[in-house]
A and B are shown apart, each in its own frame.
Chain A
Amino acid sequence: MTIALTKGNWPITSPVDALSRGLDLLLIPVVCFVLLIKAYEIFDLYVFLIIITPVYLIKNLLVDRLAPETPTLNWLDLAVLFVGIVEVVSYATSTYQPNSLYYLVEALFLFLFYCLIRFNLRHDYQRVAIYLAIAATGFWISSRALYSFWRHYGRLNALGFGDASEFKHLFGLVGSDGYATAERITMLLAFLPFPLILFFKLKRLRRVRWLMLAPVATILLALSVTFSRAVYVAVFAFLLVASLLVYRYKLFSARRIILFNLLVGIVALVCLAPVAKPVLTTLEMFKSKSQVRSLEGRIHLWRASIDIVEQHPWTGAGACNFPMRYGGYTEEHTAFVVSTFNYFLQILAERGALGLLAYSLLLFAFFKTSADHIKLCKSELYRLTAILCVASFGVVIVRDLTYSSILINKAANAVLWLMFAAIARTEA
């Protein structure tokens, strides 16, 4: 029996081979299911992963050992492992373990999810299918966000409110599950590279590939109507960094890159024309009262957060404990805040210097592995994936310099760890 499962159309020669191929195929719905459930946070998938992990572990041990290739571990693998260990230590030393338990489970989930992809994402068809699923999810979520915005915008106009940027917290752009829009919108930044990868990957399917620009457009528009300065900076940074890297590594000509950016710019300009005023207000950065207050509040918060760090310098106060600890450390004891509004400060406050070291190492290992890969890899798809993933992860970090959404947002976290695994795997 011969089943065409791969590009090479290799025949299935034995039941073991069939099992291996079947599990490779099954990885696609498994990963898509995890990402979809994470995006909507409908329920947790812990038991699901407890069942799936040993299945693939046995496959890797008993079936894949027949394969001649031996996966070589790299620094990204070690960095991921280090982060996992630090999360366990952080839980053990947490000042309030009931809260930290939630993130310990999540951190171990991400580690196993990483391993699952790292050792089993072996074929192009798997990548394309997973990226398609992410692009479709991104399209759906961003379209819903735009619809939600449009409804609220209509109501704002009817009530005579002039500048929509003042009311961005009301739009409910990405679900209304108790988290602020700003905490959840980061997932769209993480989704952004995947439709772009497919757009360039599906060169031969000329008509289909243009469909991939639909999720790019809706995601960019949804990000635009957040009227968040940090998101705007992140989007610009994404386009700039991706364009420069693509040009630097000669994946496309300067003309094509400029044309593509022009196309994105024109579409964005046309679509955002009806909401030009709040977009301009956002671009002014520090003009309105809200913008000034927001910046002042953040600066004050960053200073106050240092006090918490001083109390627990090595292992931090424990994951998810910042809101609990903050009240006891501020001088004024006036405001309730849920986070430090800075990714690195959040890690330092909750996981201490050890945590900062682990997450910094992860960041460094990811960028270094990606850079090596961009230089050395021959496959255009893999190089482009690395470039866009670097740009995406970079801008998520840029966005989180004034917010702390990565550690809260499960969907963004899952997609980022998928990127880590995809990059680590590619190099291997």
Chain B
Amino acid sequence: MILPMKVKPHTWMIVMMLAWAMFGWAVEKHAVAKSAEEHFQSFVLRMAEARYSEAQMEIENAVRLSPKNAYYVAGKGLLDERMIGPSLGSGVYLVSTADLDEEDRMHVDAAMSAYEKALALNPNDGCFHHNLGWLYNVSGHREQAIDCFKKAIEADGASAVYRVSFGLFYEQGGLTEDAANEYSSAIRLSPSLLDSRFFADFKRRRPSKAEELVAAVAQYLENQVRQTGDPFFKARLAKVYLYSGRTEALEILRQTTRELPNLSRPWLYLGQLYQLQSNEGEAKRSYERAVFLDKSDYSSQLRLGETYDREQRTSDAIGCYRSAIEDWLYKPSVSARRAARIYMAAHIVANDLIPEGLLSYTEPDFDLAGTCSRLAALYRDTGKTELADYYERLGKGTVPGSGFRVGG
């Protein structure tokens, strides 16, 4: 296996020197990328604290050092959107947003430009397409917006949020049927949407349509379960049944948890069902399992906290309430979690969706004020007044940066 020619060690040493020089060049580039990453980390922190002017400095430095990083470029766009007044905040999805002032328009244009650049670097990012869709919509370019929403769904067809956005966009334009179709697809993918503020609002606006939609989703999932027997479909169907108050949910959930016991949500739903049946012991057990499987699920943490609270296990209840609040405030969106792997990002912007409040609007609703108030009371009972004061202020929304997820 020895080479036919005898290579002199000096020849190999020259190769090594070349490799060393190349390595030095690559390490230098890597150091610049690291430096950009540090600026991006500061940007993420400033964004969380809603200190946008400082965040702007940081993201500009990050983009200057690493101009080909699509994630940083998109971060710049996200910041511009956040700097628009309260007009794009939560709860304004269905009203015209054409009354932007000059400064806001500049931010919208800058944000669009940034997302377009980011998409030129990575055309496969569903979140970028989705965000650009809303920005086009704000600036009155409906055709481009439709195109963007379609591309977002094409890039990540499993995302319920993109479909909700598309539906809201249709509803805004008076296309109720198209909107309902998108909502239906979204709920099929993620039935937990039924517990969100989005669905509560929709139900308020169009109660009969909402009922039709739930029935249609249930029928679709029933067919899927019949055809495939897939436990994921079973879990989704059980959630829809649970929402509709149908008793079949219990048996389906028992089946699902037998077949795939490592899924967290079915245990949460099972706990809710047991609780409805006043079976506190089984409910607690199910919640404990759900929390064990997914510690970052604020719904499970909250339910378990309430159970412990009723049992007067104060310190356990405090732990669960705290986790629930932190998860609710800081849990990243699905696209943000993926960004960590797609862009090899050490730091991510947890709420990367436009509009700012969309993330909390489409997730199971959470009573932040009520939970903070209860936690504050428990802390006061245990003599920890400083923490009690903090959570009271947090509940009232007076802690700086605590509202970044909900658009406060």
Contacts and interface: CB of A to CB of B under 8 A. Distances in A.
Interface string B18-36: 0110111011011001000
A73 B12 contact: yes
B7 interface: yes
Contact of A96 (B3, B122, B157): B122
Interface stretch (B44-52, B62-70, B193-201): B62-70
B1 A104 contact: no
Interface in B145-202: 153-158
Given A72-B3, A88-B22, A50 B27 contact: yes
SS class of chain B's interface: helix, strand, loop or mixed?
helix
Contacts of A105: 23, 26-27, 29-30
A282 to B, nearest CB: 14
Contacts of B2: 72, 74, 427
Contact of A372 (B1, B12, B121): B1
A57 interface: yes
A47 B23 CA distance: 10
B216 interface: no
Interface residues of A, number: 68
A358 to B, nearest CB: 15
Contacts of B15: 81
Nearest to B189: A334
Contacts of B340: 178
Given A60-B9, A73-B12, A323-B342, A54 B23 contact: no
B27 A47 contact: yes
A50 B262 CA distance: 46
A57 B20 contact: yes
B8 A70 contact: yes
B293 to A, nearest CB: 7
Given A101-B29, A112-B23, A325 B3 contact: no
A26 to B, nearest CB: 18
Interface stretch (B134-142, B284-292, B325-333, B392-400): B284-292
Given A97-B68, A112-B16, A166-B260, A74 B9 contact: no
Contacts of A81: 15
Interface residues of B, number: 55
Contact of B156 (A111, A155, A336): A336
Contacts of A338: 341
A96 B260 contact: no
A98 interface: yes
Interface in A186-214: none
A71 interface: yes
Interface in A136-163: 155-156, 159-163
Interface of A: 44, 46-47, 49-50, 53-54, 57, 60-61, 65, 70-78, 81, 84, 88, 96-99, 101-102, 104-105, 108-109, 111-112, 115, 119, 155-156, 159-163, 166-167, 169-170, 178, 289-290, 320, 323-325, 327-328, 332-336, 338, 365, 368-369, 372, 427
The 9 closest A-B pairs by CB, nearest first: A328-B124, A333-B157, A108-B23, A73-B7, A46-B27, A334-B158, A372-B1, A105-B26, A98-B69
